Amino acid sequence: MSDAQPHPDLVPRRSLRSELGAILLLLGATRAALLLAGLVSRALLAPLRAEPYPWTYSKSAWLAIWGVWDSGWYLDIATFGYSAAGRTDPAILNQANYAFFPLYPLTMRALGPLVGGPFHAGLIVSNLCLVGACLALRRLTALDYGAAAADRAVRALVLCPTAFILSGVFSESMFLALTLAAFLAVRRDRLFLAGAAGYLAALTRPVGVLLVFPLALAYWKEARDRRQPLRARGAWLALVPLGLATFAAYNLALTGNAFAFARIQTTWGRTLHSPFAVLADGLRDPDLTARFAAWMTLAVVAFLVVGARRLGLAYGVLSLLFILVPLATGLNSMPRFLLAVFPFPILLALLGERRSLEELLTITLALLQGFLMVFWANGFKLVV
């Protein structure tokens, strides 16, 4: 966050209708292009596959394209609920669905009967959350850098290399929307809402519990900038770790181990290591998937380090935590986990202050995203 920050109530805003119109136009255009890339690539690559495409979540190909990898686990929870039993299928031996945090799949479960099933519900929830995330990012960015930068930040988010996942049956868009909502609430001095959004974020992904630290820093900076003392209302931010505590209590009742969700991660090959060692090893790993994840992570980290002074302490801490903590468990899914680091598209927006650079960034990001969509939509492991 920049040093010279206006009071949120003094920042001029476009109407909600205007903001939503621009966001929906952008999402409609990009999702149509991604859908075309996915469908065409499936048709072209089908003859080259030794086995048929392994996931079919809908009879409609244009819907099924958005389900892959962990989508199956979310659908399993939404359909059957949590189970303490490990799986016996060789492909997922000893894995269990309580590894996945509950808010997203339980929302799918609740909405499913109204919209034709949990898969359709997942698509609706993900895309509504994506709209909400774009709106919150725009308003948050406008507070510090102005409306033009805010519009560029939304475009950068939507064009991030793996942002197609935000429209799929994954929890990423819900987590991103709640994270941004929590920060925006702090900026508007609505600390209960910030704590509530953080609580829900911590029920969506395990890294959500770490939000309490950058949110506390953001609150401290807001109080300092307004020359106000820290108040007891700041204690509402303590709601954030209660999200993790809630799921831990459920794990205890389900399995007898409050941290079973963490222990079961070993069946996915996730164990704790130094994140720096994981990154260094990944950069020279002969496996293309690991090497791609490592180089992409390094590129984002380097970009954030260079722009750290423009972001401020709270955003810097969030970026550090949301990258290093997942990285400490391995490189698997890092290209997806980087979507939660919303200061990255903000920095891209600031870089795009020069029109020539903005155009270059837009073209580069769009081409890279389309390229990666082909791999993701066809079940290859480059993006998981």
Binned at pLDDT 50, 70 and 90, residue 4 comes out as very low
pLDDT > 80? residue 5: no
Please tell me the predicted confidence (pLDDT) of residue 54.
61
Please tell me the predicted confidence (pLDDT) of residue 12.
55
pLDDT > 60? residue 6: no
* Among candidate residues 209, 131, 201, the one with its CA nearest the CA of residue 171: 201
* C-alpha distance from residue 142 to each of 25, 26, 189 (Å): 20, 18, 16
For 96, what's the count of Cα atoms within 13 Å in the CB-facing half-sphere?
18
Residue position matching structure tokens 């941004």: 180
Task: Specify burial of residue 223 (Cβ count, 10 A radius: 0-12, 13-18, 19+).
Answer: middle
Average pLDDT over residues 90-116: 91
Please tell me the predicted confidence (pLDDT) of residue 283.
94
Binned at pLDDT 50, 70 and 90, residue 3 comes out as very low
Average pLDDT over residues 169-195: 96
Average pLDDT over residues 275-287: 94
Binned at pLDDT 50, 70 and 90, residue 13 comes out as low
Predicted TM-score (pTM) above 0.85: yes
Structural tokens at position 159:
């064009």
Percentage of the chain exceeding pLDDT 90: 70
Whole-angstrom Cα distance, residue 266 to residue 246?
22
Whole-angstrom Cα distance, residue 238 to residue 154?
29
pLDDT > 60? residue 8: no
pLDDT top residue among 198 and 223: 198
Question: How close are the terminal C-alpha atoms of the chain, in Å?
Answer: 31
The domains of the chain are located at 8-270
